[in-house]
Amino acid sequence: MTQEELFKVLVAHCKEYGFIFPSSEIYDGLAAVYDYGQMGVELKNNIKQYWWNAMTRLNENIVGIDSCIFMHPRIWEASGHVGAFNDPLIDNKDSKKRYRADVLIEDYLGKIEEKIAKEVAKGRKRFGDSFDEAQFRATNPNVLREQAKYDEVHARYVKAEQASDFAEYRQIIIDCGIVCPISGTCNWTDVRQFNLMFSTSMGSTSEGANTIYLRPETAQGIFVNYLNVQKTGRMKLPFGIAQIGKAFRNEIVARQFIFRMREFEQMEMQFFIKPGTELEWFKNWKEKRMAWHVNLGMGAENYRFHDHEKLAHYANAATDIEFQFPFGFKELEGIHSRTDFDLGNHQKFSGKKIQYFDPETGESFVPYVIETSIGVDRTVLAVLSHAYKEERLEGGDTRVVLSIPPALAPVKAAVMPLVKKDGLPEVAQQIMDDLKYDFNCQYDEKDSIGKRYRRQDAIGTPYCITVDHDTLEDRCVTVRDRDTMTQERIPIAELRAMIDRRVNLNTLLRNL
Ligand code: GAP
């Protein structure tokens, strides 16, 4: 199966098993808006808990808040979103479809990278153990040709991006022969700027109504509460404020499922520090955040840093943590050194003094900020796309299994009586009643045991617990492991401790 096919299958799987549904589906859906079903919400909550506890419990100097989606409209002027939160859009005149010009170019570059990777993989297969990748890349004519093409387009793109030269974006698209996937033509309009914020009005009369925005990031809710938290929490620099919440962006290119949505959730943390210490803290947070990701056990090779070549005017360092999604390495989290831009501007626009008094030096100053910002939905997609596997079993059977990290799995254990009679359901129900305070469990007595195992594999349940006739005698149950499919006989009295060892979020947190 190609990665593209795998992605389609994954989207269908998410719907079939109650993870993610298209929003408003009975009205034919709403573009780039998705609802989480009964499994999806559990997975999402576990991810949020892993992040929240890693931030607020493992760091004594980080506290959390929950600010509102609606905020004073001047906030978005101060933050620069009214003036500059734009994407470069381009229309195809034949299909009338709209695209992001930068994304068209990045996708083109991504395809060249894929071609190079395929050549390298072919070389590795051909030469086996004696394969020298560096030498192959430096000498293979196909790789050299593609690399030269990549380097040329990439250099033009970076220059155009730095100069915000939109005419050059269009020229790159035309020179590279990038066509609209719908019409197949290169008949493009000029590139224009498009503001991504959704607006609405607040107030009961049209005269008195104010235009307000749905927040495009949660970060500003943290900045405008800086003084409140610092004073009421008696916080001393360095300290952080964390928040999880919804954000809204009128994305031009809404595709790739929950990767780019118009309503999504962010987990953001602003770390306030003394000016001059920002590059040291930036490095520190880069390492900490990468460790948080890798700790999930989805393979360190599936993550990489992508340092920004073009820095926003307020940033003096920025990087993305990228994950290998089925459609290539893409941004999962951003880490930015934002200087005193946000607090300084809120001080200017609100007229309120937003400063930190350092008792050691007797000085007052506007703190600098390191921001870590990760999408909940993109993390869900990373977990699901890595977890989805179609396995061929001995005897020719196949199974679909989601090998979700156990601490994040929506259901931790399924309890199943072998048959629906002879007192087995009652024992299974007692086990459920005992486990349900510690873990999200499912009771299932329908269909053959094999079918029940398959259903649990498909939602990523780490353990299936079967109650059989022997259980009535020996008070033991059969526990089947999702990943190895091995079965073990375990005393009922030991079940809770056994499950806990593998699925407890604290075990994951302790490894950080
Ligand atoms: N406060 C900084 C900020 O918002 P960002 O890079 O625009 O930075 C941070 O967004 C993270 O939010 C991204 O790395 C991504 O995980 C997530 N994100 C951004 N736009 C998104 C969208 N349209 N759909 C889903 N997730 C999104």
Is ligand 1 within 6 A of the CB of residue 219?
yes
Instruction: With a cut of 90, say whether residue 83 has pLDDT above it.
Output: no
- Provide, rounded to the nearest whole percent, the portion of the chain with pLDDT above 90: 88
- Amino acid residing at 183: S
Amino acid 164: pLDDT: 83
- In the numeric block, which tokens belong to residue 207? 């005269």
Query: What CATH superfamily classification does 1-77+196-392 receive?
Result: Bira Bifunctional Protein; Domain 2 (3.30.930.10)
Cβ 399 vs Cβ 449: under 8 Å = no
The mean per-residue pLDDT over the stretch 15-39 comes to 96
Q: Where are the beta strands (DSSP E) in 299-422?
A: 303-307, 317-325, 328-339, 356-358, 363-365, 368-375, 388-392, 398-402, 413-417
Q: Give me the pLDDT at residue 255, please.
A: 73
Residue at token pair 């500059």: 84
How far is Cα 380 from Cα 405, in angstroms, rounded to an integer?
12
Q: Which atom of ligand 1 is nearest to the CA of 378?
A: 16
> Is 378 near ligand 1, meaning CB less than 6 Å away?
yes
- Has residue 23 got a pLDDT over 70? yes
User: 166, 21, 201: which is closest to 88 by C-alpha?
Assistant: 166
Whether omega before 406 lies within 30 degrees of 0, making that bond cis, reads: no
> At 4, is the pLDDT very low, low, confident or very high (cuts 50, 70, 90)?
confident
Mean pLDDT of all residues belonging to the chain: 94
Rounded distance from Cα 375 to ligand 1 centre (Å): 6
**243: Cβ below 6 Å to ligand 1?**
no
Average pLDDT on 5-29 reads 95
Check if the beta carbon of residue 212 is closer than 8 Å to that of residue 70. yes
SS3 287: helix
Q: Which atom of ligand 1 is nearest to the CA of 379?
A: 16
Quick check: helix, strand or coil at residue 62?
strand
Q: Is the pLDDT of residue 134 over 70?
A: yes
pLDDT digits (tens, 9 = 90+) for 459-507: 999 999 999 999 999 999 999 999 999 999 999 999 999 999 999 999 9
When comparing pLDDT for 191 and 161, which is higher? 191
Topology agreement, domain 1-77+196-392 and domain 402-510: no
Rounded CA gap, 438 and 431, in Å? 12
CA of 84 to the centre of ligand 1 (A): 16
Banded model confidence at residue 3, pLDDT cuts 50, 70, 90: confident
pLDDT given for residue 143 in this prediction: 95
Q: Is the CB of 245 under 6 A from ligand 1?
A: no
Backbone angles phi, psi at 384, to 5 degrees: -70, -40
Total residue length of the chain: 512
For the Cβ of 374 lying below 6 angstroms from any atom of ligand 1, the answer is: yes
**Confidence check: pLDDT of 187 > 90:** yes
Query: How many helices and strands in the chain, by DSSP H and E?
Result: 18, 23
**Dihedral over alpha carbons 28, 192, 215, 38 (to 10 degrees):** 30
Q: Is the pLDDT of residue 76 over 70?
A: yes
> Does pLDDT of 207 surpass 80?
no
> Is 475 in contact with 492 (CB distance < 8 Å)?
yes
Instruction: Tell me, in angstroms, the distance from the centre of ligand 1 to residue 57's CA.
Output: 24
pLDDT at 208: 64
**Any idea what the Cα angle at residue 37 is, between residues 34 and 43, rounded to 5°?**
100
pLDDT digits (tens, 9 = 90+) for 298-332: 999 999 999 987 787 788 999 999 999 998 899 99
Average confidence (pLDDT) over 73-79: 95
Q: What is the pLDDT of residue 367?
A: 98
Integer Cα distance of 511 and 170 in angstroms: 48
Cα 374 to ligand 1 centre (Å): 6
Please name the amino acid found at residue 273.
I
All structural domains of the chain with their residue ranges = 1-77+196-392, 86-195, 402-510
Question: Do residues 412 and 470 lie in contact, with contact meaning Cβ atoms separated by under 8 Å?
Answer: no
For 340, phi then psi, to 5°, come to -105, 20
Task: Enter the tokens of residue 272.
Answer: 């306030």
- Dihedral angle sign, alpha carbons of residues 419, 424, 425, 428: negative
- Could you name the CATH architecture of 86-195? 2-Layer Sandwich (3.30)
Q: Which residue has the higher pLDDT, 84 or 140?
A: 140
CA distances in angstroms from 411 to 278, 397, 462, listed in the order given: 41, 24, 8
Those residues whose C-beta lies under 8 Å from the C-beta of residue 198, and which sit 6 or more positions away, are 213, 214, 248, 249, 250, 262
User: CA dihedral defined by 99, 101, 102, 104, rounded to 10 degrees?
Assistant: 60
pLDDT at 54: 98
Q: Is the CB of 268 under 6 A from ligand 1?
A: yes
Mutate to test the pocket of ligand 1, among 269, 373, 376 (most ligand atoms within 8 A of CB): 373
Query: Residue 205's pLDDT is what?
Result: 63
- Of all protein residues, the one whose alpha carbon is nearest to atom 20 of ligand 1 is 260
Band (pLDDT 50/70/90 cuts) for residue 424 is: very high
Determine contact, residues 106/215, Cβ cutoff 8 Å. Answer: no
DSSP 186-217: --B---EEEE---EEEESSSTTT-EEEEB-S-
Report the Cα 113 to chain-centroid distance in Å: 23
| Å from CA of 62 to ligand 1 middle | 21
The domain defined by 402-510 folds into: Rossmann fold (3.40.50)
DSSP 129: G
Give the pLDDT of residue 397. Answer: 87
